[in-house]
């Protein structure tokens, strides 16, 4: 047989077997119920210890966004604490020095080390690599927090604290699952690797360089990659995420001169930069959310009947979603339309104007130079460079029709591609089965409307299957005031990861 045909046949057979397993038409061994029960009981009995450890981690102000020496020291302390915990579990741990971060003001700060850890090297077992991050967004009680953001506080089963859900809680849940097997003196069902960073909230400085460097070493034996750094779409029903949108972030500058003008002296005789900019921004999207840039929808994957059915199967209470969002009315009326426009269609958002007067009071100024900021969330199979050309051409056309004497410059500050996975991969089936075991329900198969660059990066550099298994509820408030993770999500999430290890061992 032709080798290429042989590979195609093997691939088709693998997909067929997964589908048969999924539908229960062909059974694979289930994880030993007695072992599962022992592990779950251990997790329940030690949940207060797990919460206490989360409290100790939340207490570390590991803010990577503010480039301040004190926070960098906290980040180093956080990474050292995590490395020590993994070593005590028996992992081989390397804390990789990532050098210095050069700041715009010319100063530099040390980048916290990235942890590479390994537990087990049995060639007969599958190897699962878990990615997580231990840095957090800035938080201050004076900004609207009801409690001290760095003191984990439990209220009605909700654990409030910065990093509780993003991402210290999920990282600890994975480690807790490993510790349950260790404490019960049970072999880990799979080999486990960890890659844990401390700069995700600041753009994962130096991470891609390390992954590229380690792709033939640390990642060479990895079969699957798991990320738990997003949320469910509901408060009680678990989910598996198989896709995220990309992001192209644009700046459009309109300039007459560097100084501002007095509107009494110059108003009426100038092409005002702000008027030009408002016209440019107003040309990008209409009142129904439809992007007006010509050609922008050309590469969007066509909608299929099968995909529509996946949206119908997802649990989303529109009234609850609207109320929790504190929004009077969405652009669309049905669950399916809302999900599709969050996940599988591009969106354009206008974020702000730099150089405009935005203080309280009245100031009769004409800005001499303004910069509009907007972004487009990209979906398969949109291409970042093509979108950049389309947007630039559109804005140049609109600007030329105004016959303005001002100068316009368009630049793309950020370009991140969308990510989508094959939901027939082994670890998706294992995750579904683990969710059924722990939660007694089928998971929502969801995409995420935001951008998680690490998923695309792993898929492209390491060439391994990536799955996102979120633990947090939709109302956890990541990045916001009063961020929390429910105790139930944290503890049941620990059980989920333990069950996932066992399912992966059966299916690998």
Rounded Cα distance, 435 and 429, in Å: 10
Q: Is 201 annotated as a binding residue?
A: yes
Q: Are 71 and 63 in contact (CB under 8 A)?
A: yes
Cα 33–34–37 angle (5° rounding)? Answer: 85
Q: Which two tokens stand for residue 395?
A: 């804005």
Domain boundaries, the chain: 34-244+419-506, 246-300+345-416
Rounded Cα distance, 491 and 47, in Å: 7
Q: What is the mean pLDDT of the chain?
A: 93
Contacts of 208 (CB under 8 A, 6+ apart): 457, 461
Instruction: Give the mean pLDDT of 188-204.
Output: 96
Please state, for a pLDDT cut of 90, what percent of the chain lies above it: 88
Rounded Cα distance, 157 and 488, in Å: 7
Contacts of 60 (CB under 8 A, 6+ apart): 74, 77, 78, 81, 150
276 as an active site residue: the answer is no
Q: Which two tokens stand for residue 59?
A: 């207490």
Q: Is 463 annotated as a binding residue?
A: no
Q: Which of 494, 409, 488, 455 is nearest to 129 (CA)?
A: 455
Q: What is the pLDDT of residues 283-322, one digit of tens each?
A: 999 999 999 999 999 999 999 998 999 999 998 889 888 8
What are the distances in angstroms from CA 469 to CA 218, 241, 494, 497? 22, 6, 12, 9
Q: In 289-365, which ranges are continuous DSSP H helix?
A: 305-313, 318-325, 335-343
Q: Is 133 annotated as a binding residue?
A: yes
Cα 392–397–403 angle (5° rounding)? Answer: 125
pTM of the shown model? 0.87
Expressed in percent and rounded to 5, the helix, strand and coil fractions of the chain are 40, 20, 40
Residue 508: band (very low, low, confident or very high) from pLDDT cuts 50, 70, 90:
confident
Rounded Cα distance, 39 and 282, in Å: 57
**Virtual torsion, Cα 336, 339, 340, 344, nearest 10 deg:** -150
Q: In 59-147, which ranges are continuous DSSP H helix?
A: 69-88
Could you tell me which residues are beta bridge partners of residue 416? 247
Residue 2: band (very low, low, confident or very high) from pLDDT cuts 50, 70, 90:
low
Largest CA distance in the chain: 84
135 as an active site residue: the answer is yes
Could you tell me which residues are beta bridge partners of residue 118? 92, 193
CATH architecture of 246-300+345-416: 2-Layer Sandwich (3.30)
Instruction: Give the mean pLDDT of 326-332.
Output: 93
Q: Is 300 exposed, middle or buried (0-12, 13-18, 19+ CB in 10 A)?
A: middle
Residue 33: band (very low, low, confident or very high) from pLDDT cuts 50, 70, 90:
confident
Query: At 217, which helix (H) or strand (E)?
Result: none
pLDDT at 466: 97
E strands of 97-223, at which residues? Answer: 100-102, 108-110, 114-119, 127-133, 153-155, 158-160, 191-197
Q: Print burial letters for 452-474: b (CB count within 10 Å at least 16), e (below 16).
A: bbbbbbbbeebebbbbbbbbbbb
Q: What is the pLDDT of residues 58-112, one digit of tens each?
A: 999 999 999 999 999 999 999 999 999 999 999 999 999 999 999 888 889 999 9
pLDDT at 197: 98
Residue 28: band (very low, low, confident or very high) from pLDDT cuts 50, 70, 90:
low
Rounded Cα distance, 305 and 353, in Å: 41
Q: Is 394 annotated as a binding residue?
A: no
Q: Are 376 and 389 in contact (CB under 8 A)?
A: no
DSSP state of 274: H
From the candidates 74, 118, 135, 483, which is the catalytic residue?
135
Tracing tokens 């939340």 back to the chain, one arrives at 58
Q: What is the pLDDT of residues 255-291, one digit of tens each?
A: 999 999 999 999 999 999 999 999 999 999 999 999 9
Instruction: Give the mean pLDDT of 205-218.
Output: 96
Residue 329: band (very low, low, confident or very high) from pLDDT cuts 50, 70, 90:
very high
Q: Is 229 annotated as a binding residue?
A: yes
Please measure the distance between the N-terminal and C-terminal CA atoms of the chain and give it in whole angstroms: 26
CATH T-level assignment (fold) for domain 34-244+419-506: Aminopeptidase (3.40.630)
Range scoring the smallest mean pLDDT among 11-20, 121-130, 272-281, 399-408: 11-20
Q: Is 240 exposed, middle or buried (0-12, 13-18, 19+ CB in 10 A)?
A: buried
pLDDT at 7: 43
């Amino acid at each position: 047989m032709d080798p290429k045909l042989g590979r195609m046949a093997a691939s088709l057979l693998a997909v067929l077997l997964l589908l048969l397993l999924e539908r229960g038409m062909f059974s694979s061994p289930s994880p030993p119920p007695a072992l599962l029960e022992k592990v779950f009981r251990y997790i329940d009995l030690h949940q207060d210890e797990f919460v206490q450890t989360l409290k100790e981690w939340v207490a570390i102000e590991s803010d990577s966004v503010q480039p301040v020496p004190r926070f960098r020291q906290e980040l180093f302390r956080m990474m050292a604490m995590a490395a020590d915990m993994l070593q005590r579990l028996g992992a081989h741990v390397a804390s990789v020095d990532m050098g210095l971060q050069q700041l715009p003001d010319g100063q530099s700060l040390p980048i916290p080390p990235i942890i590479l850890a390994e537990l087990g090297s049995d060639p007969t077992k599958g190897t699962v690599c878990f990615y997580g991050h231990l840095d957090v967004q800035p938080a201050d009680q004076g900004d609207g927090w009801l409690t001290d953001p760095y003191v984990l506080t439990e209220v009605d089963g909700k654990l409030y604290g910065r990093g509780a859900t993003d991402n210290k809680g999920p990282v600890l849940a994975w480690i807790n699952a490993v510790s349950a097997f260790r404490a019960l003196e049970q072999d880990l069902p799979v080999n486990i690797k960890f890659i844990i960073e401390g700069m995700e909230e600041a753009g994962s400085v130096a991470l891609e360089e390390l992954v590229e460097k380690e792709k033939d070493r640390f990642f060479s034996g990895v079969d699957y990659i798991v990320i738990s750094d997003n949320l469910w779409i509901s408060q009680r029903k678990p989910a598996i995420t198989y896709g995220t949108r990309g992001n192209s972030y644009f700046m459009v500058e309109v300039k007459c001169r560097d100084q501002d003008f007095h509107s009494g002296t110059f108003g009426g005789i100038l092409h005002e930069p702000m008027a030009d900019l408002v016209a440019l921004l107003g040309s990008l999207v209409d009142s129904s959310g439809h992007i007006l840039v010509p050609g922008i929808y050309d590469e969007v994957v066509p909608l299929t009947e099968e995909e529509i059915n996946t949206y119908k199967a997802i649990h989303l209470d529109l009234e609850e979603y609207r109320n929790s969002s504190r929004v009077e009315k969405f652009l669309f009326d049905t669950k399916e339309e809302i999900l599709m426009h969050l996940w599988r269609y591009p969106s354009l958002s206008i974020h702000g104007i730099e150089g405009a007067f935005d203080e309280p009071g009245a100031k009769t100024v004409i800005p001499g130079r303004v910069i509009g900021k907007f972004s487009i969330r990209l979906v398969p199979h949109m291409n970042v460079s093509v979108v950049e050309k389309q947007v630039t051409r559109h804005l140049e056309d609109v600007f030329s029709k105004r016959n303005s004497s001002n100068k316009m410059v368009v630049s793309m500050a950020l370009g991140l591609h969308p990510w989508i996975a094959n939901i027939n991969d082994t670890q998706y089936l294992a995750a579904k089965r683990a969710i059924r075991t722990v939660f007694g329900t089928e998971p929502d198969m969801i995409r995420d409307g935001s951008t998680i660059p690490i998923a695309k990066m792993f898929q492209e550099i390491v060439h391994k299957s990536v799955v996102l298994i979120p633990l947090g509820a939709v109302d956890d408030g990541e990045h916001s005031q009063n961020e929390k993770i429910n105790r139930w999500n944290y503890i049941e999430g620990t059980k989920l990861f333990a069950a996932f290890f066992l399912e992966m061992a059966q299916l690998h």
